[in-house]
Structure 1
């Protein structure tokens, strides 16, 4: 075959990551707080955007008077408000044609229910100068390095990091997150544990067990339900909680009244010992959570609200408080376009209008996509909402994507940093996804979290004379219809920090 130089013409299709497409993808994965900050920055940068709470005219559109009170555009002359409506309509149609010619982004893979715009990319039209630069830093970077340097660790973040190391079972982690989010600014836990157990669908004993682990975290004394318990936790950490100190903590009201003779009788100590004990009490921190500063705690605001419907099903709706509401002021655009002095100014205004329209559309599609995904999650996890944590169905991104006709990557972005308020508490959308374990004889698959919980229950209930090996656990689980391998049981057991059968036999015989 001869090697020659020749020209070939080929036709192909490709997805171009234009600034509009990147903006739509970014909005999908933003949390509600980050979304509000992003929209606020766009409102400051784009003169054609305004909040929907602004005054409106009789026809429901932006008030022309309000638009006229804005700062005049470059070169705007007096008396321009007296132009005819026909002229304004023609200007708007011209602007729409200009935008349509420049709009080249295909959102088919981001918003499947929206048709794409088949057009070739125009780098000059999409450059837009500073139009797509970061509003906070003036650069195209997605984050500012200084924000990481100045960030302070909160009490909730510190306790969550410790919990992820101390707890391996997903159900225990969910209980731990619920308790962590119930703390006040001083680190105290003022919740009814019985009500919390019913709300989460777990036993009170399991919730108490998780709480006892959380009470060993730093700073010492957190998760106490009273001042006496807070001081007792700190004394136990220092190995100073002897019977005399326990009697002193149990009668802390006598110390508050400075009734030292009564304290000596109750504790069975002399004056010197009592002085030393009181000095130790004074060295403790009655407000351990306050060590993390007095910064405002941002509440967790759910994006989706799930309520019991009158027909026995579930009502799923968006939390409108988390959705920014913006409008495009077409009247203001028409008034300032007339006075544009050159092509640069007209191009800037067109770019602002294009960006504003795209932002409004992206916000609307984001809301619709979140609602669609959340509705399908609720449908899949109906039994969890009815009966509790242990009944989570195995679920993955592909199942949701196939059910609603979207791509898995879109589902992943939608479920990031989004929360759902249910009758059993507030959960991140990603929590509802877990791996599946096959069932014997073709039955329904089991959630990996439910199987871990079953293994833990078996090991907790074993007696010192009948320690369960991994092989025995496999046989018992298969008898219950769960098809699982021995190495999987060992992996789950090690993940829950449960020792082997040999070590457990030694430990339980030593206690006996």
Structure 2
């Protein structure tokens, strides 16, 4: 029988509160995205204010800035960590309730006593910070202006604008013409005719669909496109491999003519749109600094310039709370106070978590910092997560879009996580990045030794040094490094 009845069941479930969602969101933001988020919160919440100086902090009853400085020293292979904010519970932000704002420190962002001006001094200065931004015409604007002067009818002009919207920064058309024709309800021929007209725009070669078409458009304008040149453009892969013998046969020319044709190709522009303005490139600002310690270890410090210093103005909160009369006003003030306190605490926890993860990465990769990329250890998110007693997903969020400045350069935190390659003698594993570096070093040394190493020979050399690696892995790493094969490198030597 079908009927209704009332049952009571007990179960467990995970409820993600808006506060928890905010904490997770803050954790994965880059410093630029975080700054934009904080600015929006400052405009929305009247109880939030930015700390500009120590004096302003004192005027709002904010406590002293908490130092989140961490030092890691390596003595006899053992990491020694100093007392720091790393000792705080890593997940405290997730256990607090929104109503506990009275227990939250009103200033959350840790400062660095000896790196308080990092980024504007201290060896990492951005020399272009005073230069005013230049408004450049983008490639899209340049093409749209030309489309307006051609004399298209309204529908063809609309087609042209849609095609222009599909042009990338290099000047290439990335749209599927058949899909555009179907979406707009016109014939393929009409799309092709509009495109042919647009391909006459400046710069020459723009809106091509391939490198071959781009170079063809430029050669046609120079009146240098003939059957021999067409055959050369159809076989650019042979040119990349420096197989000149096969090219001479295909083009039907002698060595001198082929040399002249190659020189013409080299004088063309493979990226016609590269000279135009685009979205402004963002300078990488490190979130963490690592510097050598005089005592013989490494010192890991947050970049205070990337940390928003916020507080909840308690005095203003008291004033508007006392003046609130209606229930709506009281609810609004209470909500602003809870959100402000939670944001301050979330930002503090974000800074602590970044520092904690970065310090563990430095501890794991101290050999890389001391001796170079060949000593980069295999490392996974799981290893770091277990070491600092955090969830693997938390470590993944922290390492996304976060950068660390080291004596060996600025790296994204994800750079330090590499796959492991087994040792042939049963010893310690090797980092894939370190193996790639060895392969490049061996091939770079060919100019000195005079020997062109095949992939099989590279495998033998690596196995002699204790690295167990397959030939296909060497080929994959070599291709990722954009290094030609041994056959192509021999041809290049002969051609030179």
TM-score by length of 1: 0.52
Matches within 5 A, 1:1-12: 6-12=5-11
Secondary structure in 1 aligned to 2:39? Answer: helix
- CA apart distance, 1:340: 2.6
Name the structure 1 match of 2:18: 19
Name the structure 1 match of 2:38: 39
- State the alpha-carbon separation in 1 of the partners of residues 365 and 442 from structure 2: 25
- CA apart distance, 1:14: 2.3
Matched, 1:432 2:407: no
Change (3 A) 1:58 1:475: closer
Deviation readout 1:260-303 (Å, 9 max, x if unpaired): xxxxxxxxxxxxxxxxxxxxxxxx9xxx9995559987543221
- CA apart distance, 1:426: 1.9
Matched, 1:352 2:336: yes
- State the alpha-carbon separation in 2 of the partners of residues 466 and 4 from structure 1: 85
Secondary structure in 2 aligned to 1:15? Answer: coil
Which structure 1 segments of 5+ residues have no match? 64-109, 120-149, 154-160, 163-237, 239-283
Change (3 A) 1:467 1:318: closer
Deviation readout 1:400-453 (Å, 9 max, x if unpaired): 111111112111211122221212222221222211111122211111122122
RMSD of aligned alpha carbons: 4.1
- State the alpha-carbon separation in 2 of the partners of residues 472 and 505 from structure 1: 15
Change (3 A) 1:7 1:118: farther
- State the alpha-carbon separation in 2 of the partners of residues 382 and 353 from structure 1: 43
Contact 1:62 1:331 in 2 (8 A): no
- CA apart distance, 1:349: 1.4
- CA apart distance, 1:112: 2.4
Aligned residues: 309
Name the structure 1 match of 2:479: 494
- CA apart distance, 1:469: 4.0
TM-score by length of 2: 0.54
Matched, 1:116 2:95: yes
Name the structure 1 match of 2:313: 329
Matched, 1:402 2:401: no
Secondary structure in 2 aligned to 1:420? Answer: strand
Contact 1:394 1:434 in 2 (8 A): yes
- State the alpha-carbon separation in 2 of the partners of residues 46 and 469 from structure 1: 64
- State the alpha-carbon separation in 1 of the partners of residues 52 and 492 from structure 2: 67
Matched, 1:49 2:48: yes
Matched, 1:385 2:369: yes
- State the alpha-carbon separation in 2 of the partners of residues 330 and 299 from structure 1: 36
Matches within 5 A, 1:58-207: 61=61, 111-114=90-93, 116=95
- State the alpha-carbon separation in 2 of the partners of residues 457 and 56 from structure 1: 55
Deviation readout 1:150-187 (Å, 9 max, x if unpaired): 9969xxxxxxx99xxxxxxxxxxxxxxxxxxxxxxxxx
Contact 2:452 2:490 in 1 (8 A): no
Matches within 5 A, 1:353-368: 353-368=337-352
Name the structure 1 match of 2:460: 475
- State the alpha-carbon separation in 2 of the partners of residues 360 and 425 from structure 1: 32
Contact 2:436 2:477 in 1 (8 A): yes
